[in-house]
Amino acid sequence: MVHADASTFAANVTKEEAYQQVLDQAEGLLFDQRNWVCNLSNVAALLWHAYKSLPSPSNEVNWAGFYTLDLTTPNQLILGPFQGKVACQTIAFSRGVCGAAASTKRTQLVPDVDAFPGHIACDGASRSEIVVPIVVHDRVVAIIDVDCAVPEGFDDVDRAWLEKLAELVGKSCDWP
């Protein structure tokens, strides 16, 4: 049974420990549940609470969630479950950090969003961003998008763990 304590993180955990808990809890939450809306909603909450339990810069995360493949418009993402302020509803594969991750099928780790050509400022407070594509059978089905209110909010530790999470989510959902 799903319990709210899944998103409770101990004080003074390391980033690696928090990500390991996210993966472990996500695996439990996704077990026997294939609905992508349900699963992405719970994973967004796990990520949000993990970041808020960590020291700076991780606790400066101001948006964590997903965009999914928009089945009504080719090469476009549509807003999925998230935690944070309201967000852009659709993003073309040709625009911004999310579009770059979707079009290249590669993680985009951006230390300074103002230096990224074509960055979309859904929240003007965001200063850095990491976007990880979720690829199933060579098709981008969604992306994990995390924004931070300080520059250089993410590093290779974030990249490695979010890529593991993307793989887990990708194989744990029935995608449209």
Residue 30 to residue 126: CA distance in whole angstroms? 30
- Write down the pLDDT at residue 1: 56
Q: Which two tokens stand for residue 50?
A: 């993990």
Residue 2: what pLDDT?
Answer: 63
Looking at residue 39, what is its pLDDT?
A: 98
127 vs 56, 63, 107, 132, 164, CA distance in Å? 14, 11, 17, 17, 24
Q: Which residues contact 138 (CB under 8 A, 6 or more apart)?
A: 105
- The per-residue pLDDT for 50 is 96
pTM value?
0.96
Helices (H) and strands (E) in the chain, counts: 4, 6
- Low-confidence stretches of the chain (pLDDT < 50) are none
Residue listed under structure tokens 């472990």: 24
**pLDDT in the model for residue 121:** 81
> What is the per-residue pLDDT for 44?
98
- pLDDT recorded at residue 143: 98
Q: Classify residue 39 as exposed, middle or buried by CB count within 10 Å of its CB (0-12, 13-18, 19+).
A: buried
43: which DSSP letter? Answer: H
pLDDT of residue 4: 74
Rounded to whole angstroms, the Cα distance separating 142 from 49 reads: 21
